[in-house]
Chains A and B, each alone.
Chain A
Amino acid sequence: MLVAAVFLPLLGAFVAGFFGRLIGDRASHIVTCLGVGLASLAAIFTFYDVAIAGHSQVVNLTTFLSSGTFEAQWALRFDTLSAVMVMTVTTVSTLIHIYAVGYMSHDDSQPRFMAYLSLFTFAMLMLVTADNLVQMFFGWEGVGLVSYLLIGFWFKKPSANAAAIKAFIVNRIGDFGFLLGIFAIYFLFDAVSFDVIFGAAEGKADAEVTFFGIHAHALTITCILLFVGAMGKSAQLFLHTWLPDAMEGPTPVSALIHAATMVTAGVFLVARMSPLFEYAPTALTVVTVIGALTAFFAATIGCVQNDIKRIIAYSTCSQLGYMFFACGVSAYQAGIFHLMTHAWFKALLFLSAGSVIHAMSAEQDIRKMGGIWRLIPVTFTVMMIGNLALTGIPFFAGYFSKDMVLEAAHAAGTGAGNYAFALGITAAFLTSFYSWRLTFLTFFGSPRANHHTMEHVHESPLVMTIPLGLLALGAVFAGFLGYDLFVGEGRAEFWRGAIVVLESQDSIARVHEHHPAILIKYLPLIVSLGGLGLAYLMYIKRPDLPGRLAAAFPGVYQFLLNKWYFDELYDFLFVKNAFRLGRLFWKGGDTGIIDRFGPDGLSAATGVFARRLALVQSGYLYHYAFAMIVGLAAIVSWFVFGRAG
């Protein structure tokens, strides 16, 4: 059952990938949907068995790597944390598979697409069920690969290819940190499997090491290295630039990989490594600060973008920031809870955006939409639900998880916690603003598309709307149903050691013990309504306001519109210089110095020398006779004088 949950998607990917042309589109759809569908049934059962009934277990498959004392197994680890992830991944993935059948129905390489989706699901499952860091890295790079393949799925578009490469390379920079983190852990613990590491973590709480010439607290430096990996995969500030560009991929991809699952792998990593992070308070502070900054930073950009998918992408980036600062204040459970609810409502938002794009004849610019809510009522309804969940309106999924994240940050009582709370509240206001801005511009007001497009606006087929409906159910109920288990009274019974929190740092417990002040409790809701009001004012009541604001503060507007100029900065600093250095080393180093003074120089010198020598062989007898006489004279002189001396 456990093995099936992980390997069925791989089987589907294999069949559709290699025999897709042979068996045709329909059969590829069936085999991949069946693969993940059965996997998700197995996953639900597993979730019940592992998380509710309490049967954690590790399934050993075989040895992966063994060299000296280094040992890593191929194994599937099922504890509450991985069971939650497996269930979320497989169920959301199944719905997205089904949706993709409809969404991609006009594409001419559907088997390939379905195979990639299933392959992704498999890699993600390998990541979350890993029992050691090496297997986790396998899944980690695997999802990165499929992400690369899917962003570049429409390989004829240069922009898609560029985005794909960018995603892979920025992720690799994160992976570089992750790898070094693995090496550091092996250095410290002489092992990479979780049980051994976690068991020994407390004993290493005060260990110090010298890495890269820096003498430091061992677990701090290790955890920061791991977090660099998490930053890459989860698009945190400084390594976030790939995520918005990743929207070049087909929309189901954005929903599955770049919203619901893969990008949350970083959060999962931090939660999985909680037994280490708990003993590295400085690393936790770093996580909190970066997370909070990202939550705020991405939200500011989201407010001025015009591409419907990019807005949601920045929203994802921002929500991931929430999850990280939750982990940073030791509220890992809240982070994972938000991860789970977010998977539902963000997948829903992306897929409804896809449905809108589908209806609008592939238009993605929200300035060219408007006035279509009556025409696509189902899409409109589910997108509203997604928005309500995202903006934390009571009793929708996001309300439970996001409020817990913010309350935990406040309850932590640390400087970083308060900082995160302040930025989190600001970001919540911005989140509400950009979400409603998107909704108002897309669905309300007068139509701004040309009449040709408007005539074609149509509701999506059932194969797309049914998954939307199911995701909407999740966006409504996931928070309510999960609250008690994930972060409520039942949490100790539920997690059972899958996440380790030191008692002195348990911010969730503090939330429950000292009920936060009424203002703190209701502040997220107040700012959310404030954002709604502002968006209503600017885009419904006074549609002239945004333009005037932009004109009044051109600097701020351009700064946000250009995404804080990160792309330009990186291009200038790294990309251009890498090529410049490459040319310098090639033309200057290899050709200009090594070859010039090495082989070419030597052979040229030999040639010159040989030609000089050839001059001596003139063929004239008297030249030779002269040389002989001189030589004879020299030898005689040497014998006479040299010996005498």
Chain B
Amino acid sequence: MTALSTFIDNLPILTIVTFLPLVGAAFILMTRGEAQVVARQSRYVALWTTLLTFLLSLVIWFQFENGTANFQFEERLDWLPQYRISYHMGVDGISMLFVILSTFLTPLCILASWDSIQKLVREYMIAFLVLETMMVGMFCAMDMVLFYVFFEGVLIPMFLIIGVWGGGRRVYSAFKFFLYTLTGSVLLLVALLAMYFQVGSTDIPDLMAAKFSRDMQLWLWLGMFASFAVKVPMWPVHTWLPDAHVDAPTAGSVILAGVLLKMGGYGFLRFSVPMLPEASEYFTPLVFGLSLVAVIYTSLVALVQTDMKKLIAYSSVAHMGFVTIGIFALNQQAVEGAIFQMLSHGVVSAALFLCVGVVYDRLHTRDIDRYGGLVNNMPRYAFAFMVFMLASVGLPGTSGFVGEFLVLTGTFQMNSSVALLAATGVVLGAAYMLYLYRRVVYGELTKTDVKAMVDLEPREIAILAPIIVVVMWMGIYPMAFLDVMDASVAHLLRNYHDALATRAAEIAPLGSSLLAWVW
């Protein structure tokens, strides 16, 4: 037993989890034979690889030590020693659960694409496996260059997934997605280079320890903001999201909403706040303003959508608005709430897109008006959709409540007006989701093509059932997740406030006058 645990302790588990999907991709590349056979084998290899990756990633969770803010499972290899760039991996309470989120969703995506993807199956599965490597690597990376490679690397498979296997105006959407995010990323790169030239290292802990002058912080912060805000997405750089979702295949939307959007929030927590505390404080009103617009504006836009995926895409923007508010409210409840909300939104929005996929596979339309009365012939589907709809609405007992509630609790302590305005999202969110559910699921079953739809098949149950369990678990016993992040968030906040306190001692008059002006 001890021998086994020592063996496990010494395994480079993060590297294994990160690159295992690439191994699967290599296997798929080697398959030969008729198109049918290749497709079948690719599917199975992808499924087993991602399942194994998920199981291994659970080892990370089980071995994770909760009470500490230190990075765990650290690995370090020299990469470009002359530039002090290394292959440095590690997770803390902020990033660990995102790794699990990524590995949890990927096998579900493979299953969701089982029948609906019929062309270039091999390439599709490879794209997904590469995507998984990039996502997991991004959350584990502790070196800025490594982070950037993964962060950008995600774009390529996603761009292909939308552009090749999408529908509708897929090329337009793919380019819009790519250009929006790339424009932001270029500015992030500039910021990262500037930091490197000052500090002389690309190691994230080194950068966290470094102090940047106030002016420099402001510019660096804006550079990062350009990239992270597009990813989140924050209003007004959100318009790529509805298009990308509408034209992406179901599984593409799942990863997009489930994991890719979280990269922005994660970036804020990993870079902006710890490395640039003064700038973070300075720009808080900007973030609050944009997030509040996101919550209210996009909720209203969601209300009038006629396309299911677009509606859920807009709801994502609104929900992510809570996340950015929470991150920049910068107290324990708000930040934990923001992380929890990201995890919750990760599973719930993924599930909602899967639900759309279920009916899209049957009727090949996302037009809400073409449906109606599904509860009559698809009761199981109606139940699953109901659970996710309620989680999206933030009903207590589901995951959606905990995040929203903690964010608002924390935000209220800092600024009650912001909390008041954000809380209107609670009402609006209920309005558009219930309205959607009513039009799709309730009502008389009149349309002949809808009558012909059959209830969930075992494969679809296997996809949705685990998510239902997770959603309820997160809602009823959220401590399992909050305990993980507790120490790391406390540490983040302590450093942030310490940094502000030293700054205040140095240049109190300037800072306070600027703040007074901003507020």
- Which positions in A face B, CB cutoff 8 Å? 62-70, 134, 137-138, 141-142, 145, 148, 152, 155-156, 158, 161, 164-165, 168-169, 172-173, 175-176, 179-180, 182-184, 186-187, 210-213, 578-579, 581-583, 585-586, 589-590, 594-595, 598-599, 603
Residues of B within 8 A of A180 (CB): 412, 416, 419-420, 423
Given known contacts A64-B478, A211-B416, A599-B180, what 5 new A-B pairs fall within 8 Å (CB)? A138-B396, A165-B434, A176-B427, A180-B412, A583-B304
B103 within 8 A of A: no
| Residue B222 CB within 8 A of the other chain | no
CB pair B412 A187 closer than 8 Å: yes
B477–A156 contact, CB under 8 A? Answer: no
Pick the interface stretch among B250-258, B269-277, B295-303. Answer: B295-303
CB-CB < 8 A to A595: which residues of B?
A: 239
- Closest CB of chain B to A481's CB: distance in Å? 36
Note all chain A residues with C-beta closer than 8 A to B240.
Answer: 599
Those of B396-432 within 8 Å (CB) of chain A: 396-397, 401-402, 405-406, 408-409, 412-413, 416-417, 419-420, 423-424, 426-428, 430-431
Question: Which residues of B sit under 8 angstroms from A169, Cβ to Cβ?
Answer: 427, 430-431, 434
Q: How far is the CA of A61 from the CA of B500 in the complex (A)?
A: 40
Q: Which of B39-47, B58-66, B330-338 contacts A (4 or more CB under 8 A)?
A: B330-338
Interface string of B173-197 (1 = CB under 8 A from A): 0011001100000000000000000
CB of B378 within 8 Å of the partner chain: no
Q: Which of A65, A134, A145 contacts B395 (CB 8 A)?
A: A145
> Which residues of B have CB within 8 Å of A173?
427
**Complex contact B332–A68 (CB within 8 A):** yes
Verify B333–A67 contact, CB threshold 8 A.
Answer: yes
Given known A145-B395, A175-B426, contact A155–B239 (CB-CB < 8 A): no
Evaluate contact between A586 and B408: CB separation under 8 angstroms: no
Q: Is the CB of B443 within 8 A of A156?
A: yes
Query: What separation, in Å, do the CA atoms of A66 and B483 have in the docked complex?
Result: 9
Residue B48 lies at the interface, judged by CB distance under 8 Å to chain A: no
The proximity string for B residues 323-341 relative to A, scoring 1 for CB distances below 8 Å and 0 otherwise, is: 0000000011100110000
> Is B486 an interface position by the 8 A CB rule?
yes
* Proximity string of chain B (2-14) to chain A, C-beta cutoff 8 Å, 1 when within and 0 when not: 0000000000000
Contacts of B333 in A (CB 8 A): 67-68, 70
In the complex with contacts A169-B427, A169-B431, A176-B423, A65-B301 CB distance below 8 A: no
- Given known contacts A155-B375, A165-B435, A598-B239, A63 and B479 CB-to-CB distance under 8 angstroms: yes
Partner among A63, A579, A594 whose Cβ is within 8 Å of the Cβ of B304: A579
Interface 0/1 of B305-347, CB less than 8 Å to A: 1000000000000000000000000011100110000000000
Interchain residue pairs A-B with the least CB separation, the first 6: A68-B332, A183-B412, A582-B304, A582-B300, A138-B396, A155-B442
Cα distance, A169 to B435, chains bound together (Å):
10
Please count the residue pairs between chain A and chain B whose beta carbons lie under 8 angstroms apart in the complex: 151
In angstroms, how far is the closest chain B Cβ from the Cβ of A242? Answer: 13
Given A582-B300, A590-B301, do A176 and B409 touch, yes or no (CB 8 Å)? Answer: no
| In the bound complex, CA of A169 to CA of B427 (Å) | 7
Are A183's CB and B482's CB within 8 A? no
How many Å lie between the Cα of A418 and that of B376 in the bound state?
54
Q: Counting CB contacts under 8 A, is B248 at the interface?
A: no
CB–CB A141/B396 < 8 A: yes
- Once the chains are docked, how many angstroms separate the CA of A152 from the CA of B382? 14
A–B pairs, 6, beta carbons within 8 Å: A64-B477, A67-B406, A180-B416, A578-B431, A581-B300, A589-B301
Residue among A66, A578, A582, A599 making CB contact with B179, cutoff 8 Å: A599
B interface residues (Cβ-Cβ under 8 A, vs A): 175-176, 179-180, 236-237, 239-240, 242, 297-298, 300-305, 331-333, 336-337, 373, 375-376, 390, 395-397, 401-402, 405-406, 408-409, 412-413, 416-417, 419-420, 423-424, 426-428, 430-431, 434-435, 438, 441-444, 477-479, 482, 486, 490
Smallest CB gap from B421: residue in A: A212
Contact A212 B420 (CB under 8 A): yes
Q: By CB atoms of chain A within 10 A, which of B180, B409, B412 has the most? A: B409
Partner of B331, one of A68, A175, A598: A68
Enumerate chain A residues within 8 angstroms of B443, measured Cβ to Cβ: 155-156, 158, 161
Give the docked Cα–Cα distance between A626 and B477 (Å).
77
Least Cβ distance of A64 to chain B in Å?
Answer: 7
**Residues of chain A lying within 8 A (CB to CB) of residue B434:** 148, 164-165, 168-169
CA distance A124 to B376 in the complex (A): 29
Instruction: Give, as a whole number of angstroms, the nearest-CB distance from B377 to chain A.
Output: 13
- Determine whether the beta carbon of B395 is less than 8 Å from that of A141: yes
Question: In the assembled complex, how far is the CB of residue A353 from the closest CB belonging to chain B, in whole angstroms?
Answer: 26
Residues of A within 8 A of B408 (CB): 179, 183
Question: Taking each of B304, B435, B479, B482, which has the highest tally of chain A beta carbons within 10 Å of its own beta carbon?
Answer: B304
Q: How far is the CA of A234 from the CA of B424 in the complex (A)?
A: 20
- The 8 Å CB contact of A183, one of B304, B419, B424, B441, is B419
Residues from chain B with a CB closer than 8 A to the CB of A134 are 396, 405
